[in-house]
Structure 1
Amino acid sequence: MTEIRLANVTKTYAGGQTAVDGVDLTIHDGEFFVLLGPSGCGKSTTLRMIAGLEPISSGDLFIGERRMNEVDPKDRDLAFVFQNYALFPHLTVKGNLTFGMKLRGVPASEQERRLAEVTAMLGLAPYLDRKPGQLSGGQRQRVALGRALLRDPVAFLLDEPLSNLDAKLRAQMRTELVKLHRRVGRTIIHVTHDQIEAMTMADRICIMHDGKVAQVGAPMEVYRNPADTFVATFTGSPPMNLVPGRLENGAVHFAGASLPLDAKAAAGEVTAGFRPEDLSLAALPDRVEIQTSVVAVETLGADAILVVSLAGGQEIEMRVPADTRLEPGSPVSVHLDPDRLRLFDRQTGKAIVRAR
């Protein structure tokens, strides 16, 4: 078992800018682990520190039981796939794939055996004599992955490898990466700003914000139980609705509605959160009724997004059937599943544990 562990890892640049601030993470052997967050949150810097491409300012990095802070990148037994794939333009696909093996002195017969295995796995056999400029984006990405596979590393580090692909090809390559992970069984650490990539591929997601870890967990755990309002709004499309509320007299009051709660938090100002799919137009048993007015219906194909306005003017969104027809300005009652309501401290944004 080879875990990758970061203990209070910080990266501060010469000008005093802190890109990564006290990150503690344990990435399990064989795990598909995704670092997710907006641009500038520190996710790529974290990946580069694991790879040894960025020096660690403070803290410790361990691969297995070995501290790796001062170990050269070439000696870490990691394979890095860059966003731009970093292929040699003057070499053929075969030349790119075998380059590393030749440097390491792998015997020619072994090179051919491993090359045949990887090209069959990735469907690259028809392209071995082509150069990168003659390949599509998806083909170049597969060559970069193949080159990494031929190293047979402890872990694969992928820095936004799908960001240069169109939407259809991204969806195909997400599936291919998941299948590849199942076949090789090695740790993958994947950096992305795309929550769909994270939700569909990860065993666990680490959401980063301003150089810190905001939350780590399984995709649906992070989605259903966000640790704070940043995670709540960064995950989900549309994101979680957040409306002001107040805890008082054993109930939470929000959006003109009230919901009794057990006394788990002190009275005070809170933010109430609920996902668009947690609302319905149907008045089902035990649902919390909220009075709104229609703003717009945005048809997406399989379903639609109904945008409605609360009494104070704030707009919220909900998922409805694609054939929903409502006139803008007309009043409509929407109904919230109370089990799905999440509460956050108004000042800190942190989640409040509640019980009904």
Structure 2
Amino acid sequence: MTEHLPPARPTDASRSADAQALDWFAQFSQQPQAAFDDADFQAWLAVDPDHRAAFERWQADWRRLDTLPDTAVQQLRRQLAADKAADLLGQRAQPRPAPAVQPARPAWSAPLAWLRGCTAAVPRAALAAAVLLVAGGAGRMAWEHWQSRPLFVQDYATGRGQQLNVELPDGSRLRLDTATRVHVALYRQRREVRLPEGQAVFQVHGDADRPFDVLAGSVKVTVVGTQFAVRHTAGSPVQVAVQEGQVRVSAAGPSDAVLLTAGQQVQADGDGRLSAVGAVPPAGIAPWRDGRVSFDNVPLSQALAEFERYGPTRLAVRDPAVAAMRLSGTFDPRRLDNFRKALPKVLPVRLLDPQGGEGAQTLIVAAP
């Protein structure tokens, strides 16, 4: 029986082109033919005839993968992991004489024939890059290169007074509050969202093979499938509260990671120190979703800063004693007039109407 083998391995002179072609192929892996409509790709092809040949080799090898039986290549995955572990061990161990006879290893000239002998099933897409450069360390590099390429990357942001609902390709849902920015990157083996500013609620689609990480300041929240809220605003601790399921919260500081379940919350300061786990009622988790901001014994200055996230308040406090007054209550950030009316009723203050023109600030002072 005649084996259909992949093309001969590129020579040393053409490996640079082959490595560049791998990068292009990974970028257009879902629709390889779409690469030929890309202006940058066309420019790369025009530089050297070897570039087109290298890219076509990747296409040919990918098509060969589609012909493999479903009983594919768990053996290769184990071999790649074993090789990587052996490399790490070799860095720590003393050199030892090699055994007289080395076990045979599959050569580049026949990787697909060797793979047909494997008995465990593995998704072809996850293995493709490792097959394409299967000889020794090159196989591991291709595997790592393939895994490191995101499948989806997108930034989302809201302005003052805005909110945004986002559905990600993996089925997860994000709800962004006002003045919030997130960066989303979905990989083959993990999902990551960075929250540099603002607050958001995450409803994560369960996928045990692809953990979902949220990075906010010094805090990392890891989940598989759950619903939780994260807040990261200037001058305040990072806050994590769980509505459904459970999440693991770790920080850059000396604190140990904590596991939160539904109805629990934790905070982390700027140095990465985690607070004690506390209870939070369902209504206290991201109340902004219902058009509410809630304060529990916070300084008036902090409450005003929160209102400013939603829009200009035109309220000012110059007296430190007034700024330090403690405020509790629930308010609608879209109805600042109601907040103005409530202030003199809940705190010993009065409002001085502005004396300037349009845009002048109302001063909050202590009541006589």
- The structure that has the greater radius of gyration is 2
Q: Normalized per residue, which structure has more strand?
A: 1
Q: Normalized per residue, which structure has more helix?
A: 2
